Chain A
Amino acid sequence: MSNDRDRHDGDDDHALRVSKIRDGTVIDHVRGGQALNVLAILGIDGSEGEELSIGMNVPSDRLARKDIVKVEGRELSQDEVDVLSLIAPDATINIVRGYDVVEKHRVERPTVVEGVLSCPNPGCITTGNEPVTSRFSVLEDGVRCSYCETIVRDEIASLIDT
């Protein structure tokens, strides 16, 4: 049964889920439990009137459990999509216009992310009262603060600067 449910968000059949958005973005194949972090990393909290739909821990062939985020009326930029790769490396992005999926692609890991994550090192200059934007280089298996050089491999989502 889980296969059937997963296909509703797959290439074969967007009718049941994706087409509910007229114009916007569907972020699919987010690892289970990461949907709220996806919103945080995109700076979306609903306060600006965004129309959001979130599915969490939906059965999935590829991920066993996945989350789905739908953002009505907003097309994510490539930069925003790339940053998602830090916590959702398997995500697929569907850009929807007029109920049709006009673009569909996988996220790609950026080389650098700025202003998105907070450094966990309390001795880092970015944790002080300085006018500095956090910057992390993206490693194969984590991120690294460009200032204090601390490497973070686990729980990157906990560093999201909300």
Chain B
Amino acid sequence: MRHDHLITSKQLSRADIETVLDRAAEIDADPSAVADRHAETVLGLLFFEPSTRTKMSFETAMKRLGGDVVDMGSVESSSVKKGETLADTVRVIEGYADALVLRHPKQGSATMASEYVDVPLVNAGDGAGHHPSQTLLDLYTIRENAGLEDLTIGIMGDLKYGRTVHSLAYALTNFDARQHFISPESLQLPREVVYDLHQQGGTTGIREHESPEEVLPSLDVLYVTRIQRERFPDENEYQKVAGEYQIDAETLEAASDDLTVMHPLPRVDEIAPEIDATDHAAYFEQAHNGVPVRMALLDLLLSEQGGDGDE
């Protein structure tokens, strides 16, 4: 893998993805083998939006590699509150850290920030844009549960603003997966994403639907995202679609016994708690996979920067 920064999953080839996933599997099997691999390495966490899983899994990943983190804290307690630009913030923290992880509400923020720093920068979510490290742990989970070959996946919910969806869809074109996008019309994939998927040659494997029923029986994986109530112009419009996108035991009666249900979390009411204890549920495993996958990602990025990697 030869990248200075990870901004979007579009920059990842199939070989890149497999390199990260294979490394994550090695680390998952024997975490102690890398316990001191990046001792004295410092990761800068720049989260301009609230985050639980992503932030804590990056922090855990760095510490399990023997390194440490510096965290700018909340926006309210940082110099951002004083009006400091993102460009200045990343240039300052670059002096404290060997790599940066950035989450920011503006689309394109990671692209811009990467133009100001020399240390590796990982995009941990830029508005409605991209979230490539989430995609890597999603792919890891899919590979573990359903495999990435000959995959039929349904991606359901808020496809318009869902950055995890965009990143996953791009990455899956590397594997010729059949992708079924299920959403209300108002939350369909942005035309930019559709344009890219077509450019990447994924046209034959991409279908859009408004209801999950018609494709559910054919799916190996159902990737559910939260429909964001606040996006709807009025409550009635939300109520028209909210029930259709809730997965419960009755819904899954039509699905294959081998169906894997995923969700980037947090969930609200998209997946009924009764699914949690079934063999379908992979979303907590998915969240846990964030640590070994991000350990692998950081290891590969830091090693290429002349760190203490020995490969």
Contacts and interface: CB of A to CB of B under 8 A. Distances in A.
A46 B104 CA distance: 41
Contacts of B126: 125
Given A144-B192, A147-B112, A124 B107 contact: yes
28 contacts: A121-B107, A123-B105, A123-B127, A123-B128, A124-B107, A124-B108, A125-B86, A125-B107, A125-B111, A125-B112, A125-B126, A126-B112, A129-B83, A129-B85, A131-B85, A131-B87, A144-B192, A146-B108, A146-B111, A147-B111, A148-B106, A148-B107, A148-B108, A148-B127, A149-B192, A149-B196, A150-B107, A151-B192
Given A124-B107, A131-B85, 17 more contacts: A121-B107, A123-B107, A123-B128, A125-B108, A125-B126, A126-B112, A127-B106, A129-B83, A130-B85, A131-B87, A132-B87, A146-B108, A148-B107, A148-B108, A148-B127, A148-B129, A149-B108
A128 interface: yes
Contacts of B111: 125, 146-147
Contact of B108 (A126, A129, A131): A126
Q: Interface extent on B, as a size class?
A: 20 to 34
Interface of B: 83, 85-87, 104-109, 111-112, 115, 126-129, 191-192, 195-196
B178 to A, nearest CB: 25
A145 interface: yes
A147 B126 CA distance: 10
B108 to A, nearest CB: 3
Contacts of A131: 85, 87
Contacts of A148: 106-108, 127, 129
A145 B190 CA distance: 14
A130 B192 contact: no
A121 B109 CA distance: 13
Contacts of B191: 151
B169 to A, nearest CB: 14
B106 A124 contact: yes
A147 B108 contact: yes
A129 B89 CA distance: 13
Contacts of A149: 107-108, 129, 192, 196
The 10 closest A-B pairs by CB, nearest first: A147-B108, A148-B107, A148-B108, A125-B106, A125-B108, A125-B109, A125-B112, A123-B127, A132-B112, A123-B107
Nearest to B107: A148
Contacts of B83: 129
Given A123-B106, A124-B107, A130 B112 contact: yes
Given A123-B127, A123-B128, A125-B112, A130 B107 contact: no
Interface string A114-145: 00000001011111111110000000000011
Given A123-B128, A151-B191, A145 B87 contact: no
